[in-house]
Structure 1
């Protein structure tokens, strides 16, 4: 997951940085630092990604059109 995918996933879910932080069990400052491009521990980035995936986000890898996100088909 990169910075843009993080922001896109939050918007798709209608979450602010505090919502993501609360759901991932990290501080809002940690989310803001990641989205500013600061390096975080791999376990922290994994926690953010796992939180998004549990909420129905699918991450799309770089495939010629750039990396992205989408909502799972199981979402209402």
Structure 2
């Protein structure tokens, strides 16, 4: 398993690239909307105790998001689209 640590900026960016609302991300992950909003309002790695960051990360990765860098060194995202005809 990859390190689950992702930064708030990556969560916001991934959600924006996928055009997902907070409610939609909550529905897909089972993580409460208030928790997602709290994560996104921080800077850096949000405090999380229940494995929510791993759940969010896995959900985004299943949707084609690749998390690049580390929380300390140029964190970002890439979008992988399925190959077209």
TM-score range relative to shorter protein = 0.7 to 0.9
Question: Which residue matches 2:55?
Answer: 47
Q: Max radius of gyration: which structure?
A: 2
CA-atom RMSD in angstroms: 1.9
Paired with 2:83 and 2:30, the residues of 1 have a C-alpha distance of 23
Which ranges of structure 1 fall in alignment gaps of 5 or more residues? none
Is the 1:5–1:69 contact (alpha carbons within 8 Å) kept by the matching residues of 2? Answer: yes
Q: Which has the higher helix share?
A: 1
**Aligned positions of 1:1-76 closer than 5 A:** 1-37=6-42, 38-41=46-49, 43-62=51-70, 66-74=74-82
User: TM-score, length-normalised on structure 1?
Assistant: 0.84
Paired with 2:83 and 2:17, the residues of 1 have a C-alpha distance of 11
Q: Cα offset for 1:74?
A: 2.4
Which aligned segments of 4 or more residues in structure 1 are displaced greater than 6 angstroms?
none
Which ranges of structure 2 fall in alignment gaps of 5 or more residues? 1-5
